[in-house]
Amino acid sequence: MIAVIGGGIVGTLTALELLKYYEDVALFEKNPATGMETTKANSGIIHAGYDDEPDTFRAQFSYKGNKMYDDLAELLNFKIKRPGSHVVAYNDDEMEQLYHLAENAKANGFEDDEYEIILKDRLLEMEPNLNKDAIGSLWSPIAGIVDPWEIAQRASIAIRRNGGEVFKNKKFVSVDKKNDKFTLHFEDGTEFDADYVINAAGLYADEVAKAFGDTVPEITPVKGEYYLLNKDIKWVNSVIFPLPTEETKGCLVLPTVDGGFLIGPNANETDSKEDYATSEEGLAEIARDAKKLVPNLKINPGTIMKTFAGLRPETEEKDFYIEKGKDNVIHISGTRSPGLTAAPAIAEYVADMFQEKLEKKQRNIELKGLENNLELIKQDYDKWDEMIQKEPDFGEIICYCNKVTKADVLYAIANGAETIDEIRFFTKSGFGECQGGYCSSKIFEILKDKKDGKLKNIKKFTDDSWIIDSEVRK
Amino acid sequence: MDYRFRGEKMNYKTDIAVIGGGAAGMAAAKKAAENGYNVILIERDNAVGGVLNQCIHNGFGLQYFGEDYTGPEFKEVLEEKVRKNQVKIISNSNVLELFEDKRIKFVNREGIHDIEFKALILTTGARERHINSLGITGDRPAGVFTAGLAQRYINLMNLKPGNKALIVGSGDIGLIMARRLTLEGVEVKGVVEINPYPGGLDRNIQQCLKDFDIPLYLSHSVRKIIGKNRVEKVIVSKVDENFKFTGEEMEFDVDTVVASVGLIPETRPFDIVDTQNGFLVNNLNQTNIDWIFAAGNCTRVFDLVDYVAKEGERAAEYASQYVKNSDEIKKEEFKIIPNENIGVMYPQKIKKDYPVEFYLRVKKPMEKIKIEIPELNYSKVFKEAVPSEMIKIKIKDTSNIEKDVEVNVYEHS
Amino acid sequence: MSTVKELTCVVCPVGCKIKITHDGEKIESVEGNRCDRGYNYAVQEIKNPLRTLVTSVKVNNGNYPLASVRSSKEVPLNKINDLMNIIKNTKVDAPVKKGDVIIKNPLDLGADIVATRSVEKI
C-alpha cells in the first residue's frame, strides 16, 4: 500500500502515475478538495523550459514536463492552450541575457523551431500593446496556459477510476513505524497503514519530512499577488515575461484559458503558510511592474474581475528536492516554479525512483482516462444537444457567465464536491464577470437539497465559512 | 453552425423576438403584440419580471400605471397584459448566440433550438458589479454579497445572510437593503459611500437610514476585509477629494458585507451589436444593426422602472414599423455629442424627423444648470442636478438637424 | 430649543425642499412648500411620520416560501416594530393571490396587510 500525502498537482499526478505500476495507492488531502492551495493560486503557465540552468532538477523536468502536457490533456481531458511566450528585453544587457536563455533552451533539448530571438519590429507586430522601448524578445511557441486546479481535480477522479483512493479532510499529523510498516495518524483521529509513503505536501513538506525523522530543506512561504482582468480589452496574445532575476521570473502579463488576463505575481516572504491576504503595497507593486511591460494597462473597477494571492514553497536551494528518506518514504519538496510544468515529469521520476529504491513495478497498465469535459462539449451545439436529450439537467443553465449547467454542478457534487468553492473550482461557475452574483443562490439551493436542509452546514470551503445564518421566517 | 432537425425540436418563426422578460422586455412584448405582430419573449429565469420579483418595496409605476406599486405588483399587472396579448413566453431558456441571418439559438431542458424573426428587441437589463472589482485587499472570506444577491436570498428564498452587516454603496439598492436587513433583525452598522454625496434618492436616505438611525459615512471607502473563514471585521477609511485613503480609519465588527457598487449593462452574448458601456442606440431604439432594437438597462442604467417600460414600448413601436415596412424607416443618422459635464447620455445617436427623448446624468452635483442643444434650438435652466437623478428632455421636432447634435450642460450662476 | 429639519416632499414630482422649525412639541414654521399638501406632509413628518410597510409572510406549501406584502395604507413609523412582530408570526397557506388580505387591520391602524405577489400551491 502506497500512501501519498498531499493532493496538489504533484501529489495527484504522482499517485496517478504510480497506479500504472502498483495496485494499492491512496492519496490523503487535508482540505475538503484537492488542488486548493499552491496549485490553484499561481500563473497557470506551462513554461517552455529555457529559464533553468541545465544542471538543475528544474531544467531536467520543465521542458520534459511541457512536452508531456499534450498526452496528459488527452488523458484527463482538461483545457489547455499554447499561446507561446516572450521574454522581453529593453536594453543591450538584457538582450545578452536573452541569448543566454537561448543557450539554456538548446542545452535543455529544445528543437530549433521551439525558440527564437526576435527583434523589435516583429515583436511589436505580434504584441502591439507592449512597451515600445522593447528591443527584442526570446519567443517560444510551446509555452502553454491551463487552469491548474482543474488538472489536480480531474487527476483525483482518474485516481479513483484506476483503482486508487482519494481521502479528503485528512490532515496528516504524525506517523508510527513498526516492522517496516507505517501507521499514519490524521487530525480527525483516524489511522491508515501503509508500506510506502510519498510526501508531496507542498508548503508543509518539510514538516511532514520531520515527522518521518528526515530533514529536507526548510520551506519559506513566498507570496505572489495577482489581478485577474476581464475579457473586454485584449492586452496580450501570449505570455509576457520580463527578464528573470535570481529570485523569480518576475511580474507578468498573460492571457488565461478563458480569455481573461492575469497581472502578477510579486514575490514577498511571509511569516505564515496560511497567509493569503492581499495588500495595498503588493497590488500597487504588481500594477507598477506590469505597466513596464504593457504601459497602457487599465487596472480599475471596469477591468478588474478579482484579486488573489498564492504561496510558493520556496527553499534556499531554489530547486526541487526529490530524495528517499531513511525509511520507505520519498520526499518531494521545494516544488516552486516551474512546479506546475514539471509535475508530470516529477511523477515519472518518482515512479522510477520508487522502482529503483523501494519495490519493483508490479504491472504496467494503460490508465483509464476521463472522457467528458463538459465545458469542451458545450462548444459544439450538436454534441451539447445530444447530452441534453439524454439528461435534461444539461440544458438548465446555472451560471450565466460561463454557461455552467445543473448537470455540471451535480457532476461536481457526485465527485465529492461539498462546498461552494469546490463546486466553483470544479465547474467554473462564479468565475465569470459577475463573480457569482447570479449563480451563487442557485448553487446554494442545489447544495441545500443535497445536505438535508441544515443551512449552516453549507460552507464556502473550510471550517466555519458559513454562507447563510438561518431562515428569515421560520 | 447548422444543426440538424431532430424530432421534437422547437424551431420557432416569429415577427418580433424579445430577449429578456424584465420590465422593458414585458412592455416591449406587450406593445409589439398590441400592434398586431407575433411576438416571442424569451426569459432565462423561471418567471418573467427580472428584478421586479425581488424588489418588494413600493415606488414603482407612478408614471407608467399611475399607481404606487411594489415590484411584484408591477410585474403581475404587466405580465397579465403580456399574456392577454398572446405573447409566447419561453422561460428557463438562455440565448447562446445571435446570427446575422436574423436567428438566435437558445438552450433549455428540452435541448438547443432556434428562433427566426424579422426584428429583434434586446432587453437584457443590467448585472451588478461585484465588490471584487474594487481590488479591496485582505482576506477573501464567506459573507460578502452583492446587494441584489442578498435581496434575492431574503425576499425569494427566505434565507438570512448574516447577523451584523456593513453596506457598501449608498445607491438606492444599498439603501433599500439597509432597511430590509434591519426589519429582519440584522444589525446594519452603517452605509459607506465613497463620494461626498449619497448615491440614492433623498426619500430613501430618510426612509431607509434616518428612520432606523443607520449612520451614513460619506467620503469613506472600504480599505480591508478581514476574516479567516467568514467576515470578521472591515476596515473603512476616509478618502480625500481624489478618493485616496487619508488614514482616518474605522473598524466595523460585522459578519456580513453587502455591496451595491454599480450596475453594468448586460450585453452578452450579442457580439455583433455595437456596445460601449451598454448597447448604443438612436432615438428609435435602433442599434447599429437596423433590425436590432434595444431598450432599458442594457443600454444605459435608468432610475425608474417606469422609464425602462416606456423605452421598451418605444423600441416595440419602431420594431413594428420596421417589420411592417423596413424601407420606410429613414436612414440618416447623426451622433449625439455630450459635453464634459455629462456623465451618462442617452441615446447616443439621433435620426432626424423622429421625436427624441434624451435622458442624461450630470457628472457631479450642480446647484443650477443650463442645458443647451443648439442643433435643436433647445435651451433651459434647471435647478439642482445630481448624478443619481436622470434629467429627461423630450423634443418632438427634429426636422432641422443638419449635423451631429451637441448636448451641453453648463453650470449656471 | 428649536431644531430645523430639512426634507424633500414626496407628495408630487416637484419635490419641494421644505424647512420645518420645531421645538420637539410645537411646529414653529414651515417654509419651502408650494402647496397645502406639502405643508401637511411636512407637519406629519414631524408629528407622526407615516410609512408604507413592505415585508414578507411565510407561505406553507407554495411555489415560493414567502409572499411579499405591503400595508394597504401608510402606518405610523413608531408602530412598524410591533407590526413586524405580528407579521413575523403569521403564516398563510398557498394559494395566495396578489391583493389577498393577509392580516386585517392589525393594531387598528386602519391599514390591512395585503399580499403583493401570487403564490401557487405545489
Domain match, A155 and A67 both: yes
Is residue A464 included in any domain, yes or no? no
d(CA A323, CA A325): 6
ipTM over 0.85: yes
Helix orientation angle between A339-357 and A9-21, rounded to the nearest 10 degrees: 40
Q: Is residue A394 part of a domain?
A: yes
Which residue, A328, A343, A372, sits at the end of a domain?
A372
Domain identity same for A77 and A147: yes
- The pLDDT of residue B9 is 64
Q: Which residue of A has its CA nearest to C57?
A: A473
Q: What is the mean pLDDT of residues B289-310?
A: 97
Evaluate whether residue A25 is within a structural domain: yes
> How confident is the model at residue B280, as a pLDDT?
98
Residues of B in contact with C79 (CB under 8 A): none
Number of independent structural domains in chain A: 2
**Domain end (from A325, A356, A372):** A372
Residue A247: pLDDT band (50, 70, 90) is confident
Chain B closest-CA separation from residue C18 CA (Å): 12
Q: pLDDT at residue B1 above 60? A: no
Supply the range of the domain harboring residue A52: 1-82+142-219+315-372
Chain B residues with beta carbon closer than 8 angstroms to that of C7: 202, 206
Tell whether A44 and A148 lie within a shared domain: yes
Q: Based on the domain organization, do A436 and A335 belong to the same domain?
A: no
C-alpha radius of gyration, chain B, whole number: 23
B6 has a pLDDT exceeding 80 = no
Residue A429, domain CATH: 1.10.10.1100
B3 has pLDDT over 60: no
| A401 phi and psi angles, rounded to 5 deg | -60, -45
The verdict on A321 and A453 lying in the same domain is no
For A473, nearest residue in chain C (alpha carbons): C58
Nearest to B183 among C55, C58, C116 (CB): C55
How close is the nearest chain B Cα to the Cα of A234, in Å? 15
Residues of A in contact with B1 (CB under 8 A): 380-382
pLDDT tens per residue, range A373-383 = 888 889 899 99
pLDDT score for A436? 93
CB distance C21 to B216 below 8 Å: no
In a domain, A163, yes or no: yes
- What is the 3-class SS of chain A, one letter each residue? CEEEECCCHHHHHHHHHHHHHCCCEEEECCCCCCCCCCCCCCCCEECCCCCCCCCCHHHHHHHHHHHHHHHHHHHHCCCEECCCEEEEECCHHHHHHHHHHHHHHHHCCCCHHHCEEEEHHHHHHHCCCCCCCCCEEEEECCCEEECHHHHHHHHHHHHHHCCCEEECCCCEEEEEEECCEEEEEECCCCEEEECEEEECCHHHHHHHHHHCCCCCCCCEEEEEEEEEECCCCCCCCCEEECCCCCCCCCCEEEECCCCCEEEECCCEECCCCCCCCECHHHHHHHHHHHHHHCCCCCCCCCCEEEEEEEEEEECCCCCCEEEECCCCEEEEECCCCCHHHHHHHHHHHHHHHHHHHCCCCCCCCCCCCCCCCHHHHCCCHHHHHHHHHHCHHHHCEEECCCCEEHHHHHHHHHCCCCCHHHHHHHHCCCCCCCCCCCCHHHHHHHHHHHCCCCHHHCECCCCCCECCCEECCC
Residue B232: list chain A partners with CB under 8 A.
Answer: none
Which of B176, B183, B186 to probe by mutation at the C interface, max C CB count within 10 Å? B183
CA angle B115/B119/B123 to nearest 5° reads 85
Interface partners of chain B (CB pairs < 8 Å, 3 or more) are A, C
| B346, B276 Cβ separation under 8 angstroms | no
Nearest CA of chain C to the CA of B251: how many Å?
29
- The model's confidence at residue B5, banded by pLDDT at 50, 70 and 90, is very low
Q: How far is residue A26's CA from residue A166's CA, in Å, rounded to a whole number?
A: 6
- pLDDT tens digits for B129-156? 999 999 999 999 999 999 999 999 999 9
- Report CA A371 to chain centroid distance, whole Å: 21
Residues of C in contact with A472 (CB under 8 A): 56, 66
Assess A392–B contact: CB distance below 8 Å, yes or no: yes
Model pLDDT, residue C8:
84
Q: Which residue of C has its CA nearest to B72?
A: C117
What is the rounded CA–CA span in Å between residue B240 and residue B196? Answer: 9
Mean pLDDT of B164-178: 96
Same domain? For A161 and A39 the reply is yes
In a domain, A368, yes or no: yes
Q: Give the closest-approach CA distance of A458 to chain C in angstroms.
A: 19
If asked whether residues A331 and A453 sit together in one domain, one would say no
Q: Which residues contact B53 (CB under 8 A, 6 or more apart)?
A: B45, B47, B71, B72, B75, B156, C117
Among candidates A389, A460, A467 on the partner chain, residue whose Cβ is nearest the Cβ of B111: A389
Task: Flag if B92 and A438 touch (Cβ within 8 Å).
Answer: no
Q: Provide the pLDDT confidence category of residue A449 given band limits of 50, 70 and 90.
A: confident
CATH for A44 = 3.50.50.60
Report the predicted TM-score, pTM, of the whole model to 2 decimal places: 0.93
Examine residue A52 and state whether it is found in any structural domain, yes or no.
Answer: yes
A365 and A405 fall within a common domain: no
Same domain, A70 and A170: yes
Quote the radius of gyration of chain A (alpha carbons, Å). Answer: 22
Q: How confident is the model over A35-63, as pLDDT tens digits?
A: 999 999 999 999 999 988 888 999 999 99
Strand order in the sheet with C101-103: C91-93, C54-60, C66-71, C113-115, C101-103
Asked if residue A322 and residue A213 are part of one domain, the reply reads yes
Question: C65 to chain B: which residues are within 8 Å by CB?
Answer: 157-158
Query: Per-residue pLDDT for C1 more than 60?
Result: yes
**What is the structure's pLDDT at B169?**
97
Specify which residues A176 forms β-bridges with.
Answer: A183
- The pLDDT, as a whole number, for residue A416 is 86
Average pLDDT over residues A340-355: 97
More confidently predicted of C8 and C96: C96
Residue of B nearest to A432 (CA): B130
Q: Which residues of B touch C (CB under 8 A)?
A: 53, 56-58, 68-73, 76, 155-158, 183-184, 202-203, 206-207, 211
Model confidence pLDDT, tens digit, residues C55-71: 999 999 999 999 999 99
Question: What pLDDT does B8 receive?
Answer: 55
The catalytic site residues of A sit at 47
pLDDT at res. B347:
98
Q: Over chain A, what is the mean pLDDT?
A: 95
Residue A290 lies in a domain: no
Q: In terms of domains, do A156 and A73 share one?
A: yes
Provide, as residue numbers in chain B, all residues whose Cβ is less than 8 Å from the Cβ of C54. Answer: 56-58, 70
| Arithmetic mean of pLDDT, A279-301 | 97
Query: Between chain A and chain B, how many beta carbons pairs sit less than 8 Å apart?
Result: 150
Question: Which of these three, A372, A391, A418, is where a domain ends?
Answer: A372
Of B57, B72, B206, the CB nearest to C117: B72
* Same domain as A339, residue A383: no
A470 inside 8 A of chain C by CB: no
Running DSSP on this structure, what letter comes out for residue B246? E
The DSSP-derived string for C22-78 is E-SSSEEEEES-SSHHHHHHHHHHHHS-EE--EEEEEEESBSSSEEEEEESS-EEGG
Q: What pLDDT digit, counting tens, does each position of B315-357 carry?
A: 999 999 999 999 999 999 999 999 999 999 999 999 999 999 9
Our CA-based measurement puts residue B169 at a distance from the nearest CA of chain C, in whole angstroms, of 21
Q: What is the three-class DSSP state of B261? A: coil
What pLDDT is attached to residue A441? 94
Domain presence at residue A245: no
pLDDT tens digits, one per residue of A224-242 = 999 999 999 999 999 999 9
Q: What is the pLDDT of residue B7?
A: 44
Interstrand relation of A239-241 and A220-229 (parallel, antiparallel or unpaired)? unpaired
Average pLDDT on A287-312 reads: 96
Residues A277-295, buried b or exposed e (16+ Cβ, 10 A)?
bbbeebbebbbebbbbbbe
